[in-house]
Amino acid sequence: MSIPIRSSDELLAALREHPEWREAIRREILTGELLGLPAKLEKAELERREDSREIRESMQGLAETTRALAQQQEKTEDTLQSFMDSTERRFIAVENLLTGMSIKLDELDGKVTQRDAVEKLDNYLHKQIDPLEVLARLLLSRMFAAARGAGAITEEERDQLGDADALAVGEDKKTGELACAAAEVSTTVNVDDVERAGLRSELFLKALRAAVEAKPKQWEKLLPRLPAKSYALVIGRRITEEARREAERRGVLFANYRNGQPACLTKFVPEARRMGLDARRNEAGRSISQAAGDRL
């Protein structure tokens, strides 16, 4: 049975009356692609939701991983910092140990140098004093007591002499008179060493003369007559420039320590005296040249 339809209103009324016709009309009106579009959209929406869920899960997993990495990094940094702190403490401890060892080695080197130089003091001074005798502590103590009793030296000056590295007496090779010497030994000779040697040589000469004058019989075997001169000597592996100038100013001898070898003794000539010597040498040179010219 067919129903006559002459307008869209009649069509809509027929569809309301027969809803089962709608699908057939839709298939007739819409193409296959359009008909499948709702299903595709629904599928796409489902896929989008699934992708969103996976993305959320991935983001959540990434966030958890990031937090875990951050925590691990923090632990690693803490461990590294702890290791660095511990290493630095060890380095400081080793450095302090090496510094202490270096100081002890320097002290040991200084003591060995001093002992060896004092034992071989005649090697350094035999061009000035020969023979030379380094005085023992007991003899020096008696001598200082005699000089102190005579009022020649003060208690402080006696302590200065007692701290000297070596004190010796002998015969001056230039004059044949008795002479004495005070020596200071240091790995590196500085100004203080030069000043001590100069001061102690002067004090030693004063103390010797006072002791001999006070009790000549007691000292006549060692010092049959009064010593006339005192030498000041510094011995070391090296000498600072400032100490060299001070030694030159004071007329203090410097010996380069080489296990007692005597060849390195240096006598510093004071500036004024050196200028006078240079002038005399120049004058002598001119006189010789003039005499040679006259003979020619």
The reported pLDDT for the residue numbered 147 is: 94
- In sequence order, the β-bridge partners of residue 167 are 182
The reported pLDDT for the residue numbered 170 is: 95
- Domains of the chain, residue spans: 111-283
Report the chain (296 residues): mean pLDDT per 10 consecutive residues. 72 78 73 68 81 84 86 87 86 80 73 87 93 94 93 94 96 94 94 96 96 91 92 95 95 85 54 51 50 42
pTM for this predicted structure: 0.60
Cα separation of 185 and 137, whole Å? 17
Residue in 112, 124, 116, 113 with CA at minimum distance from that of residue 233? 124
Chain-centroid distance of CA 190 in Å reads 19
The reported pLDDT for the residue numbered 293 is: 45
The reported pLDDT for the residue numbered 45 is: 81
The reported pLDDT for the residue numbered 263 is: 41
